Structure 1
Amino acid sequence: MNLRHLKYFVATAESGQVSRAATVLSISQSSVTSAIKELETILGTELFRRSAHGMELTDAGREFLSSSYEILEKVEEAKKLTQKKSSAGGVISLAATYTVLGYFLPYHLDRLSHLHPNLEIKLHELSRESIEEGLLANRFDMAMVLTSNLNNPELESETLLRSTRRLWASHSNPLSRQGKVHFEEIAEEDYIMLTIDEAAHTTMQYWGLTNFQPKVKLRTSSVEAVRSMVANNQGVTILSDMVYRPWSLEGKRISTVQTEYEIPSMDVGLAWRRGLEFNHAQTVLSDYFRQAFVSPQSQAPNIRNGIVKI
């Protein structure tokens, strides 16, 4: 057994499909299938139940998934111990929106604290409008935001991650078994509308490019409420891979399906006041994220589904 086995197993468990796991890992489906079979042989038990709907964890699979997370986390911790720590320091005031702070930043804040222990990051959670105002007023040095929502010409930004938006549906919903789904079909379903971080506005923008409208059953600022409603087959939604998790808090499965019409991605990145000359702390922060996401040698985790690449 090696880390490759664990990585492929976790990707399949989280995505629920070999095809999606292969896409996430940028490898062939046969490689994923072979690795899982090898792992099941080594462990002497089945980790998945195969069906037309995808790959569902067995009881043994659920237990092994927990162990796999622990192992991969320990490997990440070991890697941090061997990484060269920088003496670079300073203080930086960093603003972030709800989604970015909840689903993107924590891992990187941990890495930054290990790589640059003398760098102090002061965090502020605000709306996009308040962040833009704060950047222009010099209350914040930089911000981590949904760059796809920015529209202020006085700000500069650099996109680091483009997260695909897909339909979320209960595992028991017939739409979850389709390769691609049409907006006409989605419009027939009850729709759970997320409102945080301008999600509702963005949703109506891309729905406006179709001939249909969502049949909104609930508007909520809670991602977990959306997840639970969808998992319990109370409606469907369209959200990005970055906030997707395959299970609700009740342990019910959520499937994702591509839409026939390509929906604009949710983009995450850094923003700052136009013309700003970076000080040392700002340079350290921006260089870290560029190396993690922009350079070909990117070592960042796969944020789309919470899978850590080893």
Structure 2
Amino acid sequence: MNLRQLKYFVATAETAQASRAASALSISQSSVTTAIRDLEASLGVALFLRKRHGMELTNAGRELLTTAYAILSKVEDAQNLRQRDIETTGTIRIAASYTVVGYFLPFHLDRLKQLHPNLDIQLHELNRDSIEEGLLSGRFDLAVLLTSNVTDPGLESETLLRSTRRVWVPSGHPFAKRHRVDFEDIAGEDYILLTVDEAANTAMKYWSSQQLHPQIRLRTMSIEAVRSMVANGQGITILSDMVYRPWSLEGKRIATVMTNTPVPTMDVGLAWRKDVTFSAQMRLVHDYFRQAYNSPYPG
């Protein structure tokens, strides 16, 4: 067993597909499948059930996942010791939207705290309008938000992550057997529409471009409600990989499939007032995210 195998195993467990894990890790799919096969051989147990719709953890796999998280976390702590900066002090006020706070920021906030223990990060969760107003008025230094939604010309933005949107369907749904599906077919299914962080407005834009309308069964601000409704066969949806998890709270499986017509990605990144002079704390956080995402896209 080695750390590389554990990293590839965790990525596959979280994405439920070797191909998606390979894409997330920027490596070949064969590297992922070989590492998992070697890991299974060294442990003498099967970690995944290989199914048509993806990779499903066995009981042994679920046990190993808990251990793998603990091991990789300790390794991360050890690596951070040499980078630890105790001299940087001061406060930075960061605003973030709901989706970003729930599915993107926690890991990075923890890492920033480990790297800069004396930096005071004040986090505020708000909607986009309030975030933009707060940046322009100087109440916030930086924002971490969906840059694809930023509209105010007085703001600069930098995209760090482009998260692919896919169709979510329950395990065993006919769409799960396809490589791609048409919007015409999706329009014939009950649809669960997420409304938080302007998701509904974004969805209506790409639906309108197809000159079609979804058959909406439920509008909800809860991603977990969407996940449960889909997993229980009460509808399908289109959401991004960043908020995707292969299991509902009830432990039921969710599969994904691409659309034939491309759907805009969900873009996550930083924003700040155009004429602002970066403080040392702003520069530190900005540089951290740039290093975490090696090739940022210009906003």
Contact 2:86 2:117 in 1 (8 A): yes
CA distance in 2, matches of 1:14, 1:106: 16
Question: What letter is aligned with 1:135?
Answer: L
Measured against aligned partners, the alpha-carbon deviations of 1:175-204 in whole angstroms (never above 9, x if no partner) come to: 112111111111111111100000000000
Question: What letter is aligned with 2:41?
Answer: T
Question: What letter is aligned with 1:65?
Answer: L
Match of 1:158 in 2: 158
Match of 2:105 in 1: 105
CA distance in 1, matches of 2:289, 2:184: 39
How far did 1:88 drift? 2.0
Q: Map 1:109-258 to 2 at 5 A.
A: 109-258=109-258
Match of 1:249, SS? coil
Measured against aligned partners, the alpha-carbon deviations of 1:230-287 in whole angstroms (never above 9, x if no partner) come to: 1111111111111111111111111111111111111111111121111222111111
In the alignment, structure 1 residue 20 sits paired with structure 2 residue 20: yes
Match of 1:285, SS? helix
How far did 1:22 drift? 2.3
Question: What letter is aligned with 2:168?
Answer: W
Which ranges in structure 2 are unaligned for 5 or more consecutive residues?
Answer: none
Contact 2:84 2:116 in 1 (8 A): no
Measured against aligned partners, the alpha-carbon deviations of 1:1-24 in whole angstroms (never above 9, x if no partner) come to: 101111222222222222222222
- Are residues 143 and 53 of structure 1, via their aligned partners in 2, closer, same or farther at CA, if it must alter by over 3 Å? closer
CA distance in 2, matches of 1:289, 1:118: 18
Q: Map 1:78-97 to 2 at 5 A.
A: 78-97=78-97
How far did 1:89 drift? 2.1
CA distance in 2, matches of 1:174, 1:220: 25
Contact 1:48 1:57 in 2 (8 A): yes
Match of 1:85, SS? coil
Question: What letter is aligned with 2:11?
Answer: A
CA distance in 1, matches of 2:286, 2:17: 35
When structure 1 is superposed on structure 2, of 153-162 and 62-71 the one drifting more is 62-71
Match of 2:202, SS? helix
Aligned length: 296
Provide the identity percentage: 64
How far did 1:44 drift? 1.0
Match of 1:131, SS? helix
CA distance in 1, matches of 2:53, 2:279: 52
How far did 1:295 drift? 4.9
Contact 1:88 1:284 in 2 (8 A): no
Contact 1:86 1:117 in 2 (8 A): yes
Match of 1:65 in 2: 65
How far did 1:33 drift? 2.0
Match of 2:278 in 1: 278
* TM-score normalised to structure 1 length: 0.91
Q: Which segments of structure 1 move beyond 4 Å, counting only runs of 4 or more?
A: none
Question: What letter is aligned with 2:125?
Answer: E
Which ranges in structure 1 are unaligned for 5 or more consecutive residues?
Answer: 297-310
CA RMSD across the alignment: 1.6
Contact 1:172 1:233 in 2 (8 A): no
When structure 1 is superposed on structure 2, of 114-123 and 241-250 the one drifting more is 114-123
